[in-house]
Each structure stands twice: as structure tokens, then as C-alpha cells.
Amino acid sequence: MKTIKGPAIFLAQFADDTAPFNSLKNICEYMADLGYKGVQIPSWDPRMIDLQKAAESKTYADEVAGTVEEAGMVITELSTHLQGQLVAVHPAYNELFDGFAPAELQGELKGKSEWATQQLMYAAKASNNLGLNAHATFSGALMWHTVYPWPQRPAGLVDTGFGELAKRWTPILDEFDRQGVDVCYELHPGEDLHDGVTFEMFLEKVNGHKRANILYDPSHFVLQCLDYVQFIDFYHDRIKMFHVKDAEFNPTGKQGVYGGFQGWVERAGRFRSLGDGQVDFGAIFSKLSQYDFDGWAVLEWECAIKHPEQGAAEGAPFIDAHIIRVTEKAFDDFAGSGADEDFNRKVLGI
């Protein structure tokens, strides 16, 4: 078995124009002081990294890595959540996602998709230049508006939708394969890949592509009432990344999974800081260790109530306490009688 690496932290929710969150150097020093050993970098944030430059210049990539290493940490992965979202967008959401792309592409559905695809290509090369082997992203969504089918979905709609999604992602997956990097989709409501079944349907359409993998985040499964521990039994061979994020689901006589259009504080399902929700992290860390997951345990902080700085400060020791130093021997080795084929045959009466 292998020991999970960590603690690490995703910087997206902390990047800001005020110090110490306004540059990669400052934020890494801040997080290192809290006890983090790695950072996951949002590639869309120029305060953190220039993605195209990191793809085209190994020297620049080394400089970025050096900045992190000077703070006593390493880069765990890059993220293209916002760009990945734009690979596939239904026209109903066109304007809503304008903020994820350059201003000159506002309203341009095809243009945003082409830009996003190029961004993913850059991310593959940049990851290689940084010596990384996994990458975080979203799948985008062409079918989410039909998730609760009324009126009923036309026959063949889902098959066509996953076929188109696979068509858009296959060249990206091929490029990541050339760069030796896994694409890890965060299975998330709002994405066409949001649970195990949808991931399987996509995997079939990309012919089981070895670079199509999973970013495991139990918080999204709590809010879907999905068995997030058994999920690991089903998909452990495809889980290449891990977001440590907590959540709670407290349905009432007035609202449930869909949340009644309420804000995050008023919803039945809410993201919470580590330890404040309902996720059984002891079971998760045990299960991942059982299956030899040796990636990073990365805090993605999101909470409707707690301040992010408190969440970050509490997150590092929480993760550290849950990382299992896996055993190198069986607990009952002291009672072993050694290996002897003649004795084994005698025990069996043969």
C-alpha cells in the first residue's frame, strides 16, 4: 500500500488583490506557514500563473515551480475548471458563462469552446513542463438542462449528447496522453459528468481512454445522496486526484436536493469547512489507502458560514490527522510460522 501525500490546498478560493493572496509567492508563503506542503494552482488566474507561457517556456515553468519550492512546497496539479466548463456549453447558458472567457468572446459560443480547447492544450504541455502527472478540470455540459426530464427527453438525446462531448474531448485527451498527464474530471452537478453512471457513459464514448480519469470530491456526492465511500470501490482505478471538501445535507418538509432556489446559507445541501459537515473522512482516507491511492489530499475550501482564513488554518491539521501511514507488515506477523510447503500440505491433509 501507499501513503497519501498532503496536506495541500487549492488556491482558487483564496486568490485576491490584497496581500498575502495577491501573488503566487505571497500566497505560498502564507499557506506554508499554516502547514501545507503543496498547492493546486488555478490556471486562469494571472496572479498565480501565465498558462500559455508555462506551456511554451520550460524556463518560465521552472521559475513558477521555483517560486513554490522557495516557500517549502510543491505544485500538486494545475486546474482548468473554468476553461473545461467552456469546452461544452448549451446555448441557454451562453451569456452566463461569458465571464469565464476573454471579453472579446462574449456571446460567441463556438469561439469560447475553441478558446477553451486551446487552453486545455496549453494545460497539458504546461503540466508536462512542471513535471506533473494529473490535471483538474470540468467536463462542461450540453445536457444538464434535461437532468430532470420534463418534458421527457427525446429518444437518443443522451447518446447524441455524450457522443458530442466525447468528440470535443478526445483531441484534448490525446494531447494529455502525449504529455503523460491524466485528465481528472471533477464530477459535479451542473456538468454532464456528475456521478459514476455519467462518467461511465462518457468513458464508453471515448473508448476507455486511459487519460480520462476522476477528481474525487465527496462533497458533491453528499449533496446528490450518493454513497461516496462505495464509489471508491467502483472507480478506484480511475481516481487520480482528491479534493478534501466537506458538506452537509439536511432536508426538511420544505426543501430537499434542489434547494428551492435559495442561497447557500438557506439550502438543505451546503458546502462546509472541514469537520463542520457530514463527510466521513476516516472512511474515505482508509478506503483510498486500501486501494493504493498515492496522490495528494488537496483542501478545496468552500463554506457558506466560516471565513476562508479560518477554514484554511483548520484544514491543514485536519488533513494531516487523517493521512494514514500505511503499514508495511501484517499485524499478526508475530504469530506466523513461516513458509513451508511440506507443512502446508500436512495442514491440508494432502
Please tell me what DSSP assigns to residue 89. Answer: B
Count of Cβ atoms closer than 10 Å to residue 184 Cβ: 25
Predicted local confidence at residue 331, as pLDDT: 65
Q: pLDDT tens digit string along 268-324? A: 999 999 999 999 999 999 999 999 999 999 999 999 999 999 999 999 999 999 999
Q: Is the pLDDT of residue 338 over 90?
A: no
> What residue type is assigned to position 152 of the chain?
Q
Backbone angles phi, psi at 206, to 5 degrees: -100, 20
pLDDT digits (tens, 9 = 90+) for 137-196: 999 999 999 999 999 999 999 999 999 999 999 999 999 999 999 999 999 999 999 999
> What pLDDT is attached to residue 339?
73
- CA 281/CA 138 separation, integer angstroms: 23
Instruction: Give the pLDDT of residue 22.
Output: 97
Angle between helices 281-290 and 308-322 (to 10 degrees): 50
CA torsion 157-214-32-125 (nearest 10°) is -80
Looking at the structure of the chain, the number of domains it has is: 1
| For the chain, percent of residues with pLDDT exceeding 90 | 93
* Residue 224, CA distances (Å) to 205, 219, 250, 262 in order: 24, 9, 12, 17
pLDDT for position 333: 66
The predicted pLDDT at position 315 comes to 98
Domain that holds residue 153: 5-348
What is the C-alpha separation between 72 and 52, in angstroms, rounded? 25
Q: Is the pLDDT of residue 336 over 80?
A: no
CATH code of residue 98: 3.20.20.150
Question: Residues 45-96: pLDDT tens digits?
Answer: 999 999 999 999 999 999 999 999 999 999 999 999 999 999 999 999 999 9
